[in-house]
C-alpha cells in the first residue's frame, strides 16, 4: 500500500493492527485522558461518581478510565460498575443486570461505540 504509519484513537479491535505489513508502524492512542480532564474541571463533587462499563467487552476500557481518575488523586473516591446485557437479537436488549453500586450516583458510561443509544437510554 505504501503506508508507513497508521495512527488511531481508541481503536475498537486492536487485532486489526496485525493486518498491515511488518514495515508499517501502527499506533493507537487512548483518548480517555481528554475525558478525564473535562470531568475533573466540570464535576462539582466526586463523592458520588461511578465509572460504568456498559457490557463485559468494555470493562477494560472502563478500568483504564477509572485508573486515570486515580492517577489524578481520586483513589478510592470513584467507584466502578459493569452492566451485563442479554440480547435476543442484535441491538435489542432483553435484560440488564448491573454489577456494582450505581444508585444515586453520577454515572460515567465508558463505551467505544454508540449506534442506537439503547444502552445509554
From the candidates 63, 77, 85, 88, give the one annotated as an active-site residue.
85
- 56, 27 in Cβ contact below 8 A? no
61 vs 57: CA distance, rounded Å: 8
**Does the annotation mark 85 as catalytic?**
yes
47 vs 2: CA distance, rounded Å: 51
Cell of residue 9, nine digits: 484513537
Catalytic positions are: 85
Amino acid at each position: 500500500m505504501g503506508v508507513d504509519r497508521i495512527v488511531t484513537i481508541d481503536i475498537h479491535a486492536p487485532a486489526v493492527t496485525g493486518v498491515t505489513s511488518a514495515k508499517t508502524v501502527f499506533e493507537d492512542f487512548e483518548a480517555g485522558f481528554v475525558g478525564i480532564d473535562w470531568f475533573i474541571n466540570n464535576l462539582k463533587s466526586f463523592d458520588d461518581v461511578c465509572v460504568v462499563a456498559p457490557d463485559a467487552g468494555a470493562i477494560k476500557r472502563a478500568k483504564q478510565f477509572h485508573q486515570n481518575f486515580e492517577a489524578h488523586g481520586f483513589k478510592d473516591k470513584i467507584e466502578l460498575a459493569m452492566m451485563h446485557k442479554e440480547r435476543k437479537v442484535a441491538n435489542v436488549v432483553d435484560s440488564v443486570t448491573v454489577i456494582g453500586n450505581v444508585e444515586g450516583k453520577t454515572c460515567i458510561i465508558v463505551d467505544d461505540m454508540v449506534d442506537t443509544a439503547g444502552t445509554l437510554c
